[in-house]
């Protein structure tokens, strides 16, 4: 049996240029939304607290650099 990814690959390859552009925009937005949810979940779970701690330490030591 053909798996779903292979079917998707064939379907994407069959898209017209305009359909491919539309799909690419949708998929980019979809990936962004997935990324945002993961970041929010990690932040809520405290997995990113080390970044705040590092920034505070650099600020205390006056080694924090502006972006």
Residue 14 DSSP class: T
Predicted pLDDT at 1 = 58
pLDDT, mean of residues 1-8: 88
* Euclidean distance between CA atoms 38 and 40, whole angstroms: 5
Residue 5's pLDDT band (boundaries 50, 70, 90)?
A: very high
Maximum alpha-carbon separation in the chain = 61
- Spans of all domains in the chain: 4-60
pLDDT, tens digit (0-9, with 9 covering 90-100), for 11-67: 999 999 999 999 999 999 999 999 999 999 999 999 999 999 999 999 999 998 888
State residue 67's pLDDT score.
84
């Amino acid at each position: 049996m053909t798996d779903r990814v292979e079917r998707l690959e064939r379907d994407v390859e069959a898209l017209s240029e305009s359909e491919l552009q539309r799909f690419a925009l949708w998929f980019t937005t979809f990936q962004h939304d997935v990324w945002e949810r993961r970041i929010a979940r990690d932040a809520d779970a405290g997995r990113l607290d080390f970044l705040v701690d590092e920034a505070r330490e650099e600020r205390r030591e006056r080694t924090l650099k502006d972006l």
